[in-house]
Amino acid sequence: MVPPGLVGVVGLFAVWELASRTDLVPSNYLVPPSVVLPTMVGLLGDAEFLRALIATTLATLIAVVIAVCVAVPAGLLLGSVSAVRRAAMTLVEFLRPIPSVALIPLAAMTFGTGPDTKIILAVYAAVWPILFNTIYALDELDPLHVDTARAFGTSRVGVLGRVALPSAAPFVLTGVRLSTAMALAVVISAELFAGGSLGIGQFIMLAGSGGAYMDQVLAATVLAGLIGYAANAGLERLHRRLFFWTAPKEADR
């Protein structure tokens, strides 16, 4: 019996297998999952690929941590000081739609093709969901809580730390979940298009350069999806444990 959460994945793999086996698409390009999955297992035993996997995962983790350290204080500031928000939001709305992938050539020329480049680009992509979730969380903050804290002599900074931040924390964690997937995608894209930096993207680029190892290309791609799924599942479980009163019930999902 297939778990309900995996029905879509099983269906995708079934359609993929059927399309490859019936020549709906060239099988030398779209290698069937019955070949890709064993290849993926084999790659997990390859030391060089494991180094690439660790490099991509570590770069993503660093980028998300930096994004949290930047976006949460900035979100608290923009969400609580209306003058700063009015002065900065036009710039924020201008920068936010610019895709990180479009900045890869500029970043590569400025910072080189080392790990710094992909981390900087991933931070740029990951900042926005956390920032806006923090700002909108403060918009929903109950004024009564703020007034009560101030009535007891709490300073403005104290209100931010003791009232605003705990109230915004569930929204911040939701932003982190969104940002993690975005950061992973940008890190792999930077490795793929900028080159020079060890990671899954560089592995895909090298394996796909001659077209003879498409099973490895697709295996690495599927593994990237599994990493993103595992990260999201872990953060969702953390959300349910820390903020169980805000998490949707299983029946509602």
239 SS3 class: helix
Is residue 163 within 8 A of residue 141, CB to CB? The reply is yes
In sequence order, which ranges of the chain are alpha helices (DSSP H)?
Answer: 7-21, 33-43, 47-80, 82-95, 104-111, 115-139, 143-151, 156-159, 165-194, 200-208, 214-242
Backbone Cα Rg of the chain: 22
pLDDT of 139: 81
Q: Of 53, 54, 68, 57, nearest to 178 (Cα)?
A: 68
d(CA 172, CA 182): 15
Integer angstrom CA distances of residue 157 from 70, 85, 92, 133, 144? 17, 17, 24, 20, 17
Structure tokens at 127: 């900042």
DSSP state of 243: -
d(CA 82, CA 157): 15
Provide block-wise average pLDDT over 10 residues at a time, the chain (253 residues).
72 87 76 91 93 95 96 89 90 93 89 88 96 88 68 69 78 93 94 83 88 88 93 91 66 43
Dihedral of CA atoms 75, 140, 231, 215 in degrees, nearest 10, equals: -90
Structure tokens at 227: 């990493």
DSSP string, 154-179: --HHHHIIIIIHHHHHHHHHHHHHHH
Is residue 123 within 8 A of residue 65, CB to CB? The reply is no
- All domains in the chain, ordered by first residue: 36-242 (1.10.3720.10)
d(CA 243, CA 239): 5
pTM, two decimal places: 0.86
Q: Of 167, 174, 161, nearest to 144 (Cα)?
A: 167
Structure tokens at 201: 């993207």
